[in-house]
């Protein structure tokens, strides 16, 4: 039982307790405990085994959760969780994925109308039975019907960060199996897609039975779908599918290439192979006149090499330009990498809804090898986040000036703001104040259900403002929970070109806004991109790699991203 497994148990406990309407402090205790365990450097197993260590003293754990950790380590299960799973209908968790529904209303729908499936919920809305319930209305039915598609999709796919956590748990579990010689994850997860439909695991082992037995002992296993000689499929957690394949060592690279995909990439690879008189499948590369005699397959590198191609990074394998870039003598463009990022230009502090101070955020950025950041707290319209008015904003900028004056290493904090584009159109902060900023993001938080022409006009107005530098999360989507608002992106892109502005790729895996398709459109028009974490804590800066991967998938080159520019170049660009 590893730390990630224990943390996952506590997260599920919190979700189920919240659905049942349990005390909010109890729910929060489990969430805080899960976070504390994930952040521990030491193993829970080791801490419990060491008489000189006291797990109860770890902040966020305490005696109750420490006792539950002991039970999990000793038995691999938590009786309270098993009981909650049995008592909580599975449909409740699915209903809470419907935007705006929430745990309390989901429970009412289940208890009052006997809703057991999302299809039953859809029919109840169509029959207008939901509006008859106390606290519900006709608009609630419409909200549910509009959100059901999102909920159904969310139940079938994981966001990339959620898939990351699951992969980490599975990898940690499988690495304990001494019979595994090689291990890798493939599929859309390896390609860095923003959502993942299943997890593909490839291993090399001489003992197939031992490997499959070990996977069956995974803490999150719900059921075994199928188990054969070399392939095994299981369901874990919320019915998510994991496929394990045991392959020969001499075929591992070919299988990894094949099961990584994409379909379009593999079609291009097979087409190239045929032109060279060869055939490619998951077992290896062979000549057409001797299909059973493989000439390559142990590694991906040799698969590509025998096809006269350089190895192609997985996040580029979408059947676009990657084959041409890998040709002999080709000079692929300098695509972005995480090491190229020197700035983070969207983050929040304790002045609004952030968890850490300006100095703390700056120190965390230094640790991540950034040379400059922008503090962009919310403006006053975002009242739930204690947004800044002009007076508080100017006071914060004075604090930033004082901070910068004390630095001797060249690190710089830019005076910024995430300024709301008001529903009626103007910006939330007066122009005479915005003119004193180093960096201004404009964003839409309210009025997201306005008509397409209204929202578009609001964003175009912000781009026309000489003090605005970039539009943050331009479509407002939240992956799996909120669709993008109606906006004419072509008009937005044209305005960005006209006024020489940036568009943001928000690196939060809940957003990844712009999408890779929109990124390709924007880049085709020469629009600079700023990739930002929108961090609300020091740890929040660690999502930058999701934004970088999204950009790479779209073919974004290093110089097209303003976060890669030295501070002097950025300031010169801003002074235009």
Q: Which domains occur in the chain, in start order?
A: 3-87 (1.10.150.110), 90-156 (1.10.150.20), 158-246 (3.30.460.10), 251-326 (3.30.210.10), 338-574 (3.20.20.140)
Question: Can you tell me the mean pLDDT for 244-273?
Answer: 96
405-423 per-residue burial string, b: 16 or more CB within 10 A, e: under 16: eeeeeebbbbbbbbbbbbb
Give CA–CA dist 109/141, Å, rounded.
Answer: 11
Question: Can you tell me the mean pLDDT for 54-60?
Answer: 86
Q: Three-state SS for 219?
A: coil
The band of 358, judged by pLDDT with boundaries at 50, 70 and 90, is very high
Give CA–CA dist 546/193, Å, rounded.
Answer: 10
Give CA–CA dist 129/121, Å, rounded.
Answer: 10
Give CA–CA dist 282/256, Å, rounded.
Answer: 8
CA atoms within 13 A on the CB side of 350: 7
The band of 466, judged by pLDDT with boundaries at 50, 70 and 90, is very high
What's the pLDDT at 389? 96
pLDDT tens for 98-117 read 877 777 888 889 889 999 88
Among 175, 188, 249, residue whose Cα is nearest residue 215: 175
Instruction: Map tokens 């939330």 to a residue.
Output: 428
Tell me 561's DSSP state: B
Give CA–CA dist 300/287, Å, rounded.
Answer: 17
Give CA–CA dist 50/101, Å, rounded.
Answer: 46
What's the pLDDT at 155? 62
22 exposure class (CB count in 10 Å sphere: 0-12, 13-18, 19+): middle
pLDDT tens for 125-170 read 999 999 999 889 888 888 888 888 766 665 678 899 999 999 999 9
- Cis bond upstream, residue 262 (ω within 30): yes
CA 423 to chain centre: 29
More confident call, 560 vs 225: 560
What's the pLDDT at 564? 98
* Average pLDDT of the residues of the chain: 92
pLDDT tens for 261-283 read 999 999 999 999 999 999 999 99
| Residues facing 245 on adjacent strands | 202, 231
**Residue 90 clears pLDDT 80, i.e. is over it:** no
Give CA–CA dist 216/213, Å, rounded.
Answer: 5
267 exposure class (CB count in 10 Å sphere: 0-12, 13-18, 19+): exposed
pLDDT tens for 470-490 read 999 999 999 887 889 999 999
pLDDT tens for 359-410 read 999 999 999 999 999 999 999 999 889 999 999 999 999 999 999 999 999 9
Are residues 531 and 347 in contact, defined by beta-carbon separation less than 8 angstroms?
no
β-bridge pairing 240-246 and 290-296: unpaired
What's the pLDDT at 402? 97
CA 516 to chain centre: 13
Question: Can you tell me the mean pLDDT for 37-42?
Answer: 80
Percent residues over pLDDT 70 in the chain: 98
Residue 511 CB contacts under 8 Å (≥ 6 apart), including other chains: 473, 477, 478, 479, 534
What's the pLDDT at 153? 64
Are residues 447 and 456 in contact, defined by beta-carbon separation less than 8 angstroms?
no
Percent residues over pLDDT 90 in the chain: 70
The token pair at 224 is 């075994």
């Amino acid at each position: 039982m590893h730390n990630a497994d224990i943390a996952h148990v506590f997260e599920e406990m919190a979700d189920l307790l919240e659905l049942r309407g349990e005390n909010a402090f109890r729910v929060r205790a489990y969430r805080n405990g899960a976070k504390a365990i994930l952040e521990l450097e030491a193993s829970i197993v080791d801490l419990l085994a060491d008489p000189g260590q006291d797990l109860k003293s770890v902040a966020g754990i305490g005696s109750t959760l420490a006792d539950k950790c002991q039970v999990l380590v000793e038995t691999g299960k938590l009786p309270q969780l098993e009981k909650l799973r049995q008592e909580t209908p599975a449909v409740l968790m699915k209903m809470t994925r419907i935007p705006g529904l929430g745990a309390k209303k989901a429970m009412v729908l289940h208890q009052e109308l006997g809703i057991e499936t999302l299809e039953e919920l859809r029919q109840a809305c169509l029959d207008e039975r939901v509006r008859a319930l106390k606290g519900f209305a006709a608009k609630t039915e419409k909200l549910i019907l509009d959100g059901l598609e999102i909920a159904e999709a969310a139940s079938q796919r994981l966001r990339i960060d959620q898939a990351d956590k699951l992969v980490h748990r599975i990898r940690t579990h499988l690495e304990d199996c001494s019979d595994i010689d090689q291990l890798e994850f493939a599929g859309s997860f390896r390609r860095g897609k923003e959502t993942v439909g299943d997890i593909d695991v490839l291993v090399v082992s001489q003992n197939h039975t031992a490997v499959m037995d070990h996977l069956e002992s995974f803490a999150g296993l719900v059921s075994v779908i199928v188990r054969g000689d070399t392939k095994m499929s299981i369901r874990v957690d919320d019915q998510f599918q994991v496929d394990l394949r045991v392959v020969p060592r001499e075929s591992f690279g070919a299988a990894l290439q094949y099961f990584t995909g994409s379909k379009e990439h593999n079609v291009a690879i097979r087409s190239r192979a045929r032109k060279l008189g060869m055939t490619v499948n998951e077992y290896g590369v062979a000549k057409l006149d001797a299909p059973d005699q493989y000439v390559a397959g142990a590694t991906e590198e040799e698969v590509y090499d025998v096809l006269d191609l350089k190895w192609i990074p997985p996040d580029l394998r979408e059947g676009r330009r990657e084959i041409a870039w890998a040709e002999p003598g080709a000079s692929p463009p300098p695509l972005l990498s995480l090491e190229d990022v020197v700035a983070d230009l969207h983050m929040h502090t304790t002045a609004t809804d952030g968890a850490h101070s300006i100095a703390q955020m700056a120190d965390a950025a230094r640790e991540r090898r950034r040379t400059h950041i922008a503090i962009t707290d919310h403006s006053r319209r975002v009242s739930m986040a204690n947004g800044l008015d002009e007076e508080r904003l100017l006071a914060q900028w004075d604090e930033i000036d004082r901070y910068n004056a004390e630095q001797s290493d060249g690190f710089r904090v830019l005076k910024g703001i995430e300024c709301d584009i008001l529903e009626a159109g103007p910006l939330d902060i007066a122009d005479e104040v915005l003119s004193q900023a180093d960096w201004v993001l404009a964003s839409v938080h309210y009025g997201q259900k306005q008509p397409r022409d209204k929202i578009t006009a609001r964003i175009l107005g912000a781009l026309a403002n000489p003090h605005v530098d970039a539009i943050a999360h331009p479509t407002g989507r939240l992956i799996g929970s909120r669709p993008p608002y109606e906006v004419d992106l072509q008009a937005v892109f044209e305005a960005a070109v006209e006024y020489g502005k940036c568009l943001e790729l928000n690196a939060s895996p809940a957003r990844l806004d712009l999408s890779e398709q929109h990124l390709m459109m924007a880049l085709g028009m020469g629009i600079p991109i700023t990739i930002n974490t929108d961090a609300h804590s020091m740890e929040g800066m660690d999502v930058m790699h999701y934004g970088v991967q999204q950009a790479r998938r779209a073919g974004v080159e290093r110089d097209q991203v303003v976060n890669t520019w030295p501070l002097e170049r950025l300031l010169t660009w801003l002074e235009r």
